[in-house]
Amino acid sequence: MELQVPLHPQHLIELAKYATVAVAVIATGGAIVASIAFYRAQRDHAKTFGLLVQRVGVLQLGTILAIVVALGFLVAIYSISLENIIAINK
């Protein structure tokens, strides 16, 4: 038996606001770091920074993070059960 605690819609709105601010701060920080790295670096250094971003897999990590956040939101509004999340991962 699964325990379901009612989630007030106002809490979801507040959570969405804070998540939006957090994503904006992280994206702004990343953009500032990248612009400084490309502005001050010589030609070879900028290429090295680009290769670092590519090798780390920033896009893949961002995609995984977006999926996790979306699944967490769906669980919060009771649109998907935990068993279905496990089935998605397999």
pLDDT per residue over 11-37, tens digit each? 778 888 888 898 899 889 988 887 877
Instruction: Indicate if 79 and 90 belong to the same structural domain.
Output: yes
Q: 73 to each of 55, 63, 67, how far by Cα in Å? A: 30, 15, 10
Instruction: Indicate if 22 and 50 belong to the same structural domain.
Output: yes
pLDDT digit string, tens, across residues 27-83: 899 888 878 777 766 666 667 777 777 887 878 888 888 888 888 777 777 777 777
Instruction: Indicate if 23 and 43 belong to the same structural domain.
Output: yes
3-state helix, strand, coil in the chain (%, to 5): 80, 0, 20
Instruction: Indicate if 21 and 41 belong to the same structural domain.
Output: yes
Range of 13's domain? 9-56
Instruction: Indicate if 52 and 13 belong to the same structural domain.
Output: yes
Instruction: Indicate if 61 and 46 belong to the same structural domain.
Output: no
Confidence label for 6 from pLDDT (cuts 50, 70 and 90): low
Instruction: Indicate if 46 and 74 belong to the same structural domain.
Output: no
Give residue 90's pLDDT: 59
Report helix, strand or coil for 41.
coil
Q: 27 to each of 31, 33, 84, how far by Cα in Å? A: 6, 10, 31
What pTM value is reported for the model? Answer: 0.56
